[in-house]
Amino acid sequence: MHDNPIEADVVIIGSGAAGLTAALHLAGGGLKVLVLSKSDISAGSTAWAQGGIAAVLDEGDTFESHIEDTMVAGAGLNDRRTVEFVVENAPEAIERLARLGVPFNPGETVSERWHLTREGGHSARRIVHVDDATGWAVQKALERAALSTPGIRFLPDHVAVDIITERHAEGRGFSARRAMGLYALDRASGHVRRLVGRAVILATGGASRVYRFSTNPDGSTGDGIAMAWRAGCRVSNMEFNQFHPTCLYHPQVKNFLITEAMRGEGGILRLPDGEAFMERYDSRRELAPRDVVARAIDAEMKRLGLPHVLLDMTHLEPGFVEQHFPTIVKRLSELGVDATRQPIPVVPAAHYTCGGVLVDLHGRTDLAGLYAIGEVTQSGLHGANRMASNSLLECLVFGASAADDILSSFADTPPPAPIRPWDESRVTSSDEEVVVSHNWDELRRFMWDYVGIVRTNRRLERAAHRVALLRQEIADYYGEFRVTPDLLELRNLVEVADLIVRSARERKESRGLHFTSDYPETLAEPRDTILYPSLGG
């Protein structure tokens, strides 16, 4: 199909906090921006974030304290320059959101502008929030601003296929390695279109849907990580998958997150007989970092053969719980659980991808013209374990930083070369879609069983064997049939699964989110796991 390419100055893949922050900055600088989303523009992970955003806003708090808390949570693997950069830019990021109309909860005293809560790993109250639905409020405010900003065009219901580079240029003689747009599948027509620009920003989120249980929306399939890897970018620290300790355990609802702030405000983890067990694992009990809490829950479930544990808020005043967590209380009530009168059944679930595409402080990747921001990256902020409420913050700070870099260098950036249309001449429509759904289920099941909260050499070896078989089967299928959204996501998931397994096998220690029974000790010198792609394949 010889379609006309859609052209913009900058193409952004992803319409969450990172992508929209970058879009607003770029459009404010006079550039034309195209924002791509897989489905509805609100469907990404940002809208699901319950807790809040960390920033030093209280007189008794300091940048140094926020930096040290982040470094401790990251088990020494953070890049201190990145942590300092993000923390020091956090207050301005919050102010930008306030100017856009995000209704942060007001303070309870005259001297307190906003209510600040505390979450695991933080030594002070520094989390601004909008009740227990901060992400939704941030997403809506950014959307309102972007939809009313000239120069920003949304393209919903388009699934990214691959980054366009010099290999896709028409004719010969264009040899400079750089990103010049992407191919994307239009869900409505079923055809692949060319989206062309001088720069491309990956704001695609993480890869937690590679696991059977996840708190993430269905679109968190590691698309940006896989596309950057195929385009020749290094990927780092993919073994660090954060499992949120408390996802609702319910037969009808598989991915409802019970926010960390519930433990920050006094929630207690208990066994079915009422025993509070966290003190046996960490002196910080429920306020220990997420990896500690998730492993403790996992250990108790395995020790006693439990399907879940309980998060108890019943010792607190009902009015307090309802006031601080109205969204959760309402949703639980709809499911027959009264959080003010009965403990909440919870189980760990894959929540956040701490590794990703390797970037610098401007979000630049190894490929000229290709930027990555937010959960898709390994920026150095999170290290071996993301601290609570630093994730939306990373999106806001790096979204602005990447946009500033593009604006400063745009005049010197060459226009993209003419790009070849997508070739569908040698493929047919599949009559075996069951292959995709079966492989999807198999992949997520063995990743949960073999590459989950606790790992061993033998489990990782089994996972590597299964990934290799699936990769070949999916590659054959991809080469024979027209692409579909499910096939594209599965292709990316198996790529990401391979990166996770390879990274986990490289790390001969336990650190942060990566715990292996074969190497339970932590090595003296922290080192990133960096994988180098082969452009030949």
Phi, psi of 155 (to 5 degrees): -130, 85
Tokens encoding 151:
């120069």
Angle, vertex CA 104, rays to CA 98 and CA 110, nearest 5: 100
| Residues facing 128 on adjacent strands | 53, 116
Distances (CA, A) of 391 to 206, 474, 499, 514: 11, 32, 22, 19
Tokens encoding 45:
């992970």
CA–CA dist 16, 386 (Å, integer): 19
Total residue length of the chain? 537
CB contact at 8 A, 55 and 393: yes
Tokens encoding 205:
């989120």
What is the C-alpha end-to-end distance of the chain, expressed in Å?
Answer: 26
Token pair 């990251």 is found at 74
CA–CA dist 84, 64 (Å, integer): 8
Tokens encoding 131:
């009740």
CA–CA dist 282, 292 (Å, integer): 8
Beta pairing, strands 241-248 & 344-353: antiparallel
CA–CA dist 201, 182 (Å, integer): 10
Half-sphere exposure of 459 toward its Cβ, with a 13 Å CA cutoff?
18
Q: Which of 290, 459, 505, 511 is catalytic?
A: 290
Look up residue 238 and give its DSSP letter: T
Look up residue 386 and give its DSSP letter: P
Look up residue 514 and give its DSSP letter: B
Q: Is 194 a catalytic residue?
A: no
Residue type, 116: L
What is residue 270's three-state secondary structure? strand
CA–CA dist 100, 96 (Å, integer): 6
CA–CA dist 401, 351 (Å, integer): 25
Give one DSSP letter per residue of 196-211, joined into a string.
E-SEEEE-----GGGS
Residue 95: how many other CB atoms lie within 10 Å = 12
Phi, psi of 181 (to 5 degrees): 135, -155
Distances (CA, A) of 93 to 88, 89, 373, 377, 452: 10, 6, 15, 19, 34
Tokens encoding 180:
């010049």
Interhelix angle 17-28/134-147, nearest 10 degrees: 30
Q: Which residues are catalytic?
A: 290
